Structure 1
Amino acid sequence: MAAAARWGRWAPIVGVLLLALLMLPFAPAPASAATPARSPLSSASSAVFLLSGDVYPVGHYYVTMNIGDPAKPYFLDVDTGSDLTWLQCDAPCQSCNKVPHPWYRPTKNKLVPCANSLCTALHSGLSSNNKCASQQQCDYQIKYTDKASSLGVLVTDSFSLLLRNKSNVRPSLSFGCGYDQQVGKNGAAQATTDGLLGLGRGSVSLLSQLKQQGITKNVLGHCLSTSGGGFLFFGDDMVPTSRVTWVPMVKSSSGNYYSPGSATLYFDRRSLGITPMEVVFDSGSTYTYFSAQPYQAIVSAIKGGLSKSLKQVTDPSLPLCWKGQKAFKSVFDVKKDFKSLQLIIGKNAAMEIPPENYLVVTKNGNVCLGILDGSAAKLKFNIIGDITMQDQMVIYDNERAQLGWIRGSCSRSPKSIMSSFP
């Protein structure tokens, strides 16, 4: 999942619970909202967005989305680990963060009714307390593992998208109007984004809605730069035609996540001797999280090969850090002292994880391990987060049920970036 909390980001979503008895600040809608009309486009295309942010110190990558009529810009945290897109919302707001733009202001005719299929999908398979407080609106409450939460109601509004075929489209898409957020120690804290862009596998995901309306295929990809920024795309006409490592997408035992199934960890081409572990790809997680056994194996392997010039030191940014003889300015100053990891998925699909894909240099000039102990964060599965996905295009192909990646620089414009991928 996403935004700011433990070590810089919310942990993955653990559930969506309906608050059935809550009386919302909205008055009942006068009529049921209609299902958005199918796009008249004769063929699907791709939408491309530039990204801002980084792994450190921002802690996430985010995109600007233009929403409403007239369209207004909002910064949304890109999260492939959850389905629901939501904005901090003046409905009126009961508890919201200070955000970069004015809170989204809905109108009553934008409410999604309880009987809408997206509301049903959002609530299905969850707690037994899943009845709408009012048939005129669809309430939601999302809770995250770090005890952060978003409470609100589903609304529908237009999104302004520029497609690669030069078409400007304004589909009506459903998302959360969050009027009660609990983030960190103080709900009034400053946030770097206005909300969250949910790109998971569920039908309420923005990507699924675009597919349903015939605007783009149910494929997305992102390219996160180690130097910050990058790009995001919806649709399949930016997917490279060769050299992509593809693996089947499997149903995760931990939820509706993007998972290639089991993976084995190697350090400097040597097996760490641990049991294969299930992993999920989650752009909503800043760092990579492994359960206790693989995490401890990685820490032992890294420590065993370190130069004596590196001394372990306490740094508030991350749990395990080292200092050198002088302050480091970037990971590239120190990467020679560390070996690469390899993640072997299935029989022979390999994701190379060089030091710059698991290390962070902090503002204190220390180098820190960006792989964290998932058991300490009370996670029940292993997450490949942003730090490990940097400088490679990662593709989530829901049409063919496969995940792919191909390494290349993500630090330029989308057009020039594409020249580095076949």
Structure 2
Amino acid sequence: MAPFSFLAMVVALSALPWCSRSLTFSSRLVHRFSDEARAAAASSPGGGRWPIRRSAEYFEVLARSDLARQKRRLGGRYQMLYPSEGSQTFSLGNDFGWLHYTWIDIGTPNVSFLVALDAGSDLLWVPCDCIQCAPLSGYHSSLDKDLRMYSPAESRTSRHLPCSHKLCQLGPSCKSPKQPCPYNINYYSENTSSSGLLVEDTLYLASSDGRTSVQASVIIGCGRRQSGDYLDGVAPDGLLGLGFGDISVPSFLAWAGLVRDSFSMCFQEDDSGRIFFGDQGVSTQQSTPFVPANGKYITYIVEVERFCIGAKCVGETSMQALVDSGSSFTYLPNDAYKRVTLEFDRQVNYSRYAFLGYPWEYCYKASPLELPDIPTVALMFAVNKSFVVTNPLFLINGKEGELTGFCLAVNSSEENLATIGQNFMTGHHMVFDRENSKLGWSRSDCRDIDTSIPVTTPPHNRPENPLPTNEQQSNPNGHAVAPAVAGKAPNTMDSSAASPSKVVSHFCLFLLLTQFAVIFVG
């Protein structure tokens, strides 16, 4: 049997070069600045500016792109960076809209700003040369420094971004390409916006070894006029956009080669937390891919397969969800909201109670001596990855601080897109890995994130909190759905006849399978 096995191996190996010569795959290459690419871009929204072929700008753009690719390929200069004031974040509750904030330093000489952390938007803006801004005094007494206003004229390192700059979205509306670039951003909250001028200035950071100070050039919104919630206590001293956009701080740090294209946030139940740029998480974390919109990653959207309450996974609760640290609480599309809340209410088995002034529908009275058993709330992703919410409740205390009730801190939304807010992220180390287009998470008290965090790829292991794998385990009328379904490519050939290349590929596959079978038998 051994001589025959050796002969079969020789035959199979000798056929491989012939197979490789017979199978040819090809694809057209189109240069990014070709007429064809220009025409395609012109037909889509935001086609952008195109340099004149073989002009100085043309070669400058290509050289800058090459340099950025080299920096990304080599990885970041630093393992992790964080604001020079420290990696700590904190929430001040209702005084500041329940968002998490951190102190940052910008400009020369540097000025400190208390900015809200928002993964749902891109721009870093601060109050600046104000026409209409929130008052910067009379806030929480625990702040260790005053809130400030930014003035580009007082910073030696500032310069206005011209309307001709590629990141100036409102450039076409400018009267002159040299005038300062305006910006105007409308946020999800009703009538909430920020507008002003874009400025390039220095952001001060520190490396994770604690010994190196880093200065990064970023674009800042000189927010001259705010409206809506930004005049009513939310982000009075500015907002740090952490989105996918080229104008966001994570994008600037990655393109400059300072860190890997990733960042993390961690929120603790005592309202403290941490933020790191360049952090790609730990080897034991779970992950799920981000979902592109029209072929582009524009925000942090994930695909939720189903919601689970206790041991039951609720039917028809698949949805796409925006992971947004700029949203205090969590929102579900109406249909999914009804199914999830009804199942939660059934398992809690307590009488609902309407607490005056609270925005949630499912609230319950509670004794300060005994809190009822609360079912777990979890989101299930592909391949049975589970995200178990550490505390989905909002506790209501009486005048003496005693517990009087609790609410399921989830609201309904008219939109089809759900929002996973800060309250669901609490107790987790959340990793926004833009480089690998995935969201990572692991349970954490936020104190265990230190300079020894390895940059590794999460393994494909079982979730640490196993839940029902499909609805059939708790829903007899449900049906199992495979985690992934392969799609078929359109058939461009006559299906009634096999092409020569198909015959060759089948023959090559046959030779290899024959060889493996012979070796196994041998």
Q: Structure 1's 269 and 169: CA in aligned 2 closer, same or farther, altered over 3 A?
A: same
Alpha carbons of 1:350 and 1:312: their partners in 2 closer, same or farther (altered >3 Å)? same
Question: Shift of residue 272 of structure 1?
Answer: 1.1
| 1:53-95 CA-partner distances (Å, limit 9, x unpaired) | 16667410011101111111101111111111111111xx111
Contact 1:252 1:261 in 2 (8 A): no
- Equivalent of 1:257 in 292, 299, 317: 299
2:116 aligns with 77
| 8 Å contact from structure 2 (residues 396, 406) kept in 1 | yes
TM (normalized to structure 1)?
Answer: 0.77
Instruction: Specify which of 294, 312, 330 is matched with residue 353 of structure 2.
Output: 312
> Which residue is 1:270 aligned to?
312
Query: Structure 1's 255 and 366: CA in aligned 2 closer, same or farther, altered over 3 A?
Result: farther
Report the secondary structure of 2:221's partner residue.
Answer: strand
- Give the Cα separation in 1 of the matches to 2:259 and 2:244: 15
- What's 1:53 paired with? 91
Distance 1:417 1:62, change over 3 A: farther
| Bigger shift: residues 45-54 or 138-147 | 45-54
Distance apart, 1:287 and its partner CA: 0.6
Q: Residue in 2 aligned with 1:387?
A: 423
> In the alignment, is the contact (CA less than 8 A) between 2:133 and 2:236 conserved in 1?
no
- In the alignment, which of 200, 213, 225 is matched to residue 243 of structure 2? 200
TM-score (norm 2): 0.63
Counterpart of 2:167 (choices 107, 118, 123) is: 118
Q: What does 1:18-417 align with in structure 2 at a 5 Å threshold? A: 43-48=77-82, 49-53=87-91, 58=96, 59-90=98-129, 93-99=130-136, 100-107=146-153, 110-119=159-168, 122=169, 130-135=172-177, 136-145=179-188, 146-165=190-209, 166-184=211-229, 189-191=232-234, 193-236=236-279, 239-240=281-282, 242-252=283-293, 256-308=298-350, 310-326=351-367, 334=371, 336-354=372-390, 356=391, 358-364=392-398, 365-375=404-414, 379-410=415-446, 412=447, 414-415=449-450
Higher helix share: 2
Aligned mates of 2:119, 2:170 — CA distance in 1: 19
Instruction: Show structure 2 runs of 5+ residues with no match.
Output: 1-45, 47-63, 137-145, 399-403, 459-522
Distance of 1:261 and 1:134 partners within structure 2: 44
Q: Is the 8 A contact 1:359 1:369 kept in 2?
A: yes
Which one has more relative contact order, counting CA pairs under 8 Å at least 6 apart?
1
- Partner AA of 1:53 in structure 2: S
Paired residue secondary structure (1:197)? strand
The Cα of 1:230 is off from its aligned counterpart by: 0.9
Separation (CA, whole Å) in 2 of partners of 1:347 and 1:188: 44
Check conservation: 1:52, 1:229, Cα contact below 8 A.
yes
> Larger C-alpha radius of gyration, 1 or 2?
2
In 2, the alpha carbon distance for the partners of 1:341 and 1:211 equals 35
Write the deviation string for residues 154-211 of structure 1: whole angstroms up to 9, x where unpaired: 0011111111142211112111111010124xx7544554110011011001110111
Q: CA shift at 1:42, angstroms?
A: 8.1
Is 2:95–2:233's contact at 8 Å kept on the other side of the alignment? no
Asked if 1 retains the 8 angstrom alpha-carbon contact of 2:328 and 2:423, the reply is yes
Task: Quote the offset at 1:399 in angstroms.
Answer: 1.1
Q: 1:360 to 1:387 in 2, by over 3 A?
A: same
Identity across aligned pairs (percent)? Answer: 25
Structure-2 change in CA distance of 1:383 and 1:54 (3 Å): farther
> Which amino acid is the alignment partner of residue 134 of structure 2?
N
- Cα distance in structure 2, aligned partners of 1:107 and 1:168: 24
Report the Cα offset of residue 117 of structure 1: 2.0
Q: Please give the alpha-carbon distance, in whole angstroms, between the structure 2 residues aligned to 1:296 and 1:222.
A: 30
SS of residue paired to 1:383: strand
1:36-56 CA distances to partner (integer Å, 9 max, x unpaired)?
x999x9823311311011666
C-alpha contact 1:50 1:414 (8 A) present in aligned 2: no
After superposition, the C-alpha distances for 1:82-110 in whole angstroms (9 at most, x for unaligned) are 111111111xx111001351211112962
Q: Structure 1's 239 and 275: CA in aligned 2 closer, same or farther, altered over 3 A?
A: closer
CA displacement 1:362-392 (0-9 Å, x = unmatched): 34443122111112xxx44111110000011
Q: Secondary structure at the match of 1:360?
A: strand
Structure 2 SS opposite 1:315: coil
Is the partner of 1:76 in helix, strand or coil?
A: strand
Residue type at the aligned position of 2:89? L
Cα pair 1:265 1:344 within 8 Å, conserved: yes
When structure 1 is superposed on structure 2, of 131-140 and 277-286 the one drifting more is 131-140
CA RMSD of aligned residues (A): 3.1
Assess, with a 3 A threshold, how the Cα gap between structure 1 residues 133 and 302 changes in structure 2: closer, same or farther.
farther
Distance across 1 between alignment mates of 2:76 and 2:373: 54
Native 8 Å contact 2:304 2:379 kept in 1: no
Q: Supply the distance in 2 between the matched residues of 1:305 and 1:366 (Cα, whole angstroms).
A: 17
- Secondary structure of the structure 1 residue equivalent to 2:161: coil
Equivalent pair of 2:330/2:411 in contact (CA under 8 Å): yes
SS at match of 1:83: coil
Deviations 1:136-159 (A, max 9, x none): 211111112311111111001111
Q: Distance in 2 between matches of 1:101 and 1:134?
A: 35
Unaligned runs of 5+ in 1: 1-16, 18-34, 125-129
Q: In 1, distance between residues paired with 2:354 and 2:332?
A: 22
